[in-house]
Every structure is written in structure tokens, then in C-alpha cells.
Structure 1
Amino acid sequence: MIAAEWLKLRSIRSSHLLLGLSLAAIPLAVAVAWSAIGMYDSATPAMRRTARIAELEEVVLIVPQLCMGIMGVLAITSEYATGLIRTSLALVPRRWPVLTAKSAVVGGLGLVVGPVVVFATYAVTAAMLDGRFPVAPLAERWPTLVASSVTVAVFALLGLGLGAVLRSAAGAIAVLVGLVYVIPIVVGNLPEPWSERLGSVMIGALPREITGADLTSSVYGALLPPVVAGVVLALYAVAPVAAGLLLLRHRDA
């Protein structure tokens, strides 16, 4: 089943495009770093002493997250659009192995793409910026880098689950974008303490909460202990897939 689902995913032309766009986050971060270097070199000595730059691997993380989320959506909705889902379910009457195999393929690909983008971005930009901007060493940053990498796989499974529930690519992508990008903006504008309480469960806050990193400068909340934050991140992936599996077993294709 897994080999078959991998073949299906490879046969969707959009998968290659989305994979390429995910990896494009690396040169995007390099371009931002190059621009920052230019501004630093032209700044006055006083401005250089206080110059800071955000962690670029976190800035561009939105690119592979969204791309892999969309890939997850299309992995299931493309079969509904073409009618291939009927063939798949006819060959596997129990149904649950179909979505389970898709989850393994999409989630596994996310577990590869995430670390490649995050760690490559960190390594390249840290080398470029060293000596100009303060850059935390890998020994200090790696727990957050790992947690951030995992969110790419979470997005892939979130997209797959939404696609299985809604059966519509446009609808699932709209919900995906709303859940992870629109709602955090709304939450950020709520009065306290609700802004921090709800902000703490947004995906953007979870990697640093999982590692216990400093969140004093974050736009999100910082209320969850590491274990709880890890559980919440897992639920973002597991809950939509579980809902999609339940619906797949109890409704017609």
C-alpha cells in the first residue's frame, strides 16, 4: 500500500512543484541574509553594535509548511476529483489502510523536507551572518531546529486530514490557511489574557514551547509546558487524519 501511495503522489505533477517550492525557502533565506549584510555594512558603528536579525530558518519556515500542507490536501482530493478513490477503495474494502498509507507517505516526506530546509537554512545563513549579527551556535539551537522541522510533517498530515474530511482541494486549502495563518492574526489582536492563552496553542508557538526556549519576544503566548506543547502539536496532525478516517469508513466515495 505504501509503495502504491508513493507512486500516486509522484504521479501528481503538483507534487514536484510543491517540493521545489519547499526547497526554495533556502535560497529565499540566503537572499534575506544577503540583504541584511548589505544594510549592516552600510550602517554606522553605533547602529552595528545594536543590530539584530531574526532566526531566518523560522522566517522562511512558512514556505515548506504551506507547500507540504497543500501537498497533503492534494494527495487525497486529487483522487476524489478524478474518481480514482473508488478504485482504491474497491481494492481495499476495509478503507482505513488507504488513508493510513497516505499518512505514512505524506508524513514521511514532510519529515525529510523539514530538516533539510531548516538545517540547511540555519547552516548557510549562520555562515553568512557570522561576525555581523549574533548567531546562536548549533549546540544551543538544535532542539528548536528539530521541533521546527517536525512542524512541516504536521502540516502535511493536517492538510491530508482536512482533504479527507472536506473532499475539496479549494475548501481544505482555505481552511488550512485560515487555521494556521489567519486565526493567529485574530488571536494576536484579542485582549489579554485571551491573546496569550490562545496564542500558546498556535502552531507557531509550539516548537519553542516544546524546547522551553525563550519566548519573551514572540508574538505568541508562552503558557504551555514542553510535554503539553508536544501533545498539542501531535493533535494538529492526528485529529484531522482520525476525523478523515472515520468519515472515510462511514460514507460513500
Structure 2
Amino acid sequence: MSVLASEWLKIRSVRSSHLTVSISLGGILLGLGLAWMAVDMYDHATPAQKPGARLAELEEVVLMVPQLCMGVLGVLATTSEYATGFIRTSLTAVPKRWPVMAGKSVVVGVIALFTGSAVIFATYFVCRALIADRFGGLYQIPFTDKLPLLTALALTVPVFALLGVGLGSILRTASGSIVVLVGAVYVVPIIVGNLPQPWSDLLGSVMIGALPHEITRDTTTNTVYGSLLPPVAAAAVLVTYALLPLLAGTWLLCRRDV
């Protein structure tokens, strides 16, 4: 518990932590703005245009905001200690080293879980209230039917955060870790999406963006990713995104000099 308390104190005492969480929650305002614009465009469309009007589910559009911000929070939670030299103090207080990574992961993961859930569910309810029965009843699907997908989307946010913690521990530099994080999660899927079949579907099915829909078997929205994995396999891949970098980072922390 003392390690958890220490890691919580470190994170909440750094200004960048408050900034990343605030920007993440700003995703709700982004969703509100997009919903307002969509409603205005729909209401000013001609009767002939309205039946064919389509809209992406906005909670998925704004999801990238908390994902990226919490990934950055995970990176900074680790690399800032190397930049300031405070990591030596931490490892002197906890000689076994691995509890430091475990405590940091728990604290960052919990922050990301609450932040991601707040953004996803608040955006959904805002859009449901504003959009109502427009766009073919996109937001008229019962909430209980959407709950599994919304939960799976929210869970990707702590995965990003833990991926950031792992990359930060492996690379030890904030700039390098953030570049790898953004490249692996946003650039690689674009490359995969332009590969010839069947590689596009095969590799696209293991991209983070595809996993929530595969876990819940949600087919109500189109996706640019593949959808070949069964729910259990998709859940296992999502966990792997978080655990593999963490385990590698923990192993390196225990093996190499500070």
C-alpha cells in the first residue's frame, strides 16, 4: 500500500498529469460540439437528403482523445522519473524494483479507467439526448444493448495508459515513447488498411480499434478494421497490448542499471 500511495502522490503532484486528464475529459465537449453540428446539418437538410444521412457513433470518434492522453500520462509517469533522477530514490526505497512498476501501473490504470469511462458514457448520453431519432435512429438502440460495446471501448483507455507505462520503462525517453505509441496505434493501422487481402483483414483484426467490436460481436457499425477474431481471442489480444510492454519494461528495470 505504501508503494501505491507513493505512486499516487508522484502522479497527482505533477502538473502534466492534471493537464492530460483535463484534456481527456475535454473529449466530452468535443462530442457535444460534433453532435450539435450534426443535428444542425440534419435539420437543415432537405426531406430527400434526410433518409440517406449517416453519422459515425461519436463516442468512438472522441475515444482517441482519452486514449492518446492517457497513453501520454503512462509515458510521463515513467520517463519523468528518469529525466529528474528521482528513479534512484524510488528504487532505493523499494530495492526489489518490480513493485515500483506494479504500483505505477495500478495507479495509472485506475486513473485511465475512470477517465475513459467518463468520456465514453458522458459522450454517449449527450449524443443520445441531442441526436434523438435523427440519422436513422442511430442513438435509439436501447442502452442495455449498447452497454457491452461502450464498456469495451472504455477499457481500451487503460490499455493505452499501461502501454505508455511499458514503453516509457523500455525506452526511458518521453519523446521516443510517445512516437512509438502514436505510430503503433495510429500509423500502423493505416498501413495495414492499405495492404492487399487477406492481409488487411488478418492484421486489421488484431488492431486495438477492431477489438471492442470483436469482443462484443457488435455489427451495428461499419469498421475499417478486420473482424475475424472470436470474443475470447480478441479480449486476449487487448490484454496482451497492455501486459507485454509492462512485462518487458519490468524485466529491463530489474536487469539493467538505472
Q: Give the TM-score range, shorter chain.
A: over 0.9
The answer to whether structure 1 residue 59 and structure 2 residue 85 are counterparts is no
Output one character per residue of 1:187-215: Cα deviation in whole Å (capped at 9) or x when no partner: 00000000000000000000000001117
Superposed, 1:115-126 pairs within 5 Å as 115-126=117-128
CA–CA distance in structure 2, aligned partners of residues 90 and 185 of structure 1:
43
User: Structure 1 counterpart of 2:254, which letter?
Assistant: R
Q: Give the aligned partner of residue 171 of structure 2.
A: 166
Q: Give the aligned partner of residue 18 of structure 2.
A: 16
Give the deviation of 1:50 after TM superposition.
1.9
User: Structure 1 counterpart of 2:47, which letter?
Assistant: P
User: Structure 2 counterpart of 1:170, which letter?
Assistant: S
Output one character per residue of 1:108-147: Cα deviation in whole Å (capped at 9) or x when no partner: 1111111111000000111100022221221111100000
Output one character per residue of 1:197-235: Cα deviation in whole Å (capped at 9) or x when no partner: 000000000000000111772100000000000000000
Q: Give the aligned partner of residue 83 of structure 1.
A: 85
Q: Give the aligned partner of residue 249 of structure 2.
A: 244
CA–CA distance in structure 2, aligned partners of residues 78 and 161 of structure 1:
13
User: Structure 2 counterpart of 1:11, which letter?
Assistant: S
Give the deviation of 1:159 after TM superposition.
0.2
SS at match of 1:220: coil
Give the ranges of 4+ consecutive aligned residues of structure 1 lying more than 2 Å apart after TM superposition: none
Identity across the alignment (%): 60
- 2:94 pairs with 92, 95, 101, which one? 92
The answer to whether structure 1 residue 208 and structure 2 residue 210 are counterparts is no
Q: Give the aligned partner of residue 110 of structure 2.
A: 108
Q: Give the aligned partner of residue 129 of structure 1.
A: 131
Is the CA contact (8 Å cut-off) linking 1:215 and 1:222 kept in structure 2? no
Output one character per residue of 1:84-127: Cα deviation in whole Å (capped at 9) or x when no partner: 00010011110000000000000111111111110000001111
Structure 2 stretches lacking a partner, 5+ long: none
User: Structure 2 counterpart of 1:149, which letter?
Assistant: A
Q: Give the aligned partner of residue 47 of structure 1.
A: 49
Q: Matched residue pairs, number? A: 253
CA–CA distance in structure 1, aligned partners of residues 221 and 49 of structure 2:
23
Is the CA contact (8 Å cut-off) linking 1:30 and 1:125 kept in structure 2? yes
Q: Give the aligned partner of residue 154 of structure 2.
A: 149
Give the deviation of 1:71 after TM superposition.
0.1
Q: Give the aligned partner of residue 199 of structure 1.
A: 204
CA–CA distance in structure 1, aligned partners of residues 88 and 74 of structure 2:
19
User: Pairwise CA RMSD of aligned residues?
Assistant: 0.9
CA–CA distance in structure 2, aligned partners of residues 84 and 150 of structure 1:
30
Structure 1 stretches lacking a partner, 5+ long: none
Is the CA contact (8 Å cut-off) linking 1:208 and 1:215 kept in structure 2? no
Q: Higher mean Cα deviation, 76-85 or 212-221?
A: 212-221
Give the deviation of 1:150 after TM superposition.
0.3
Output one character per residue of 1:4-52: Cα deviation in whole Å (capped at 9) or x when no partner: 1000001111111100000000010110111111111110111112222
CA–CA distance in structure 2, aligned partners of residues 84 and 187 of structure 1:
40
Q: Higher mean Cα deviation, 106-115 or 148-157?
A: 106-115
TM-score normalised according to structure 2 size: 0.97
SS at match of 1:183: helix
Q: Give the aligned partner of residue 228 of structure 1.
A: 233
CA–CA distance in structure 2, aligned partners of residues 108 and 41 of structure 1:
40
Q: Give the aligned partner of residue 37 of structure 1.
A: 39
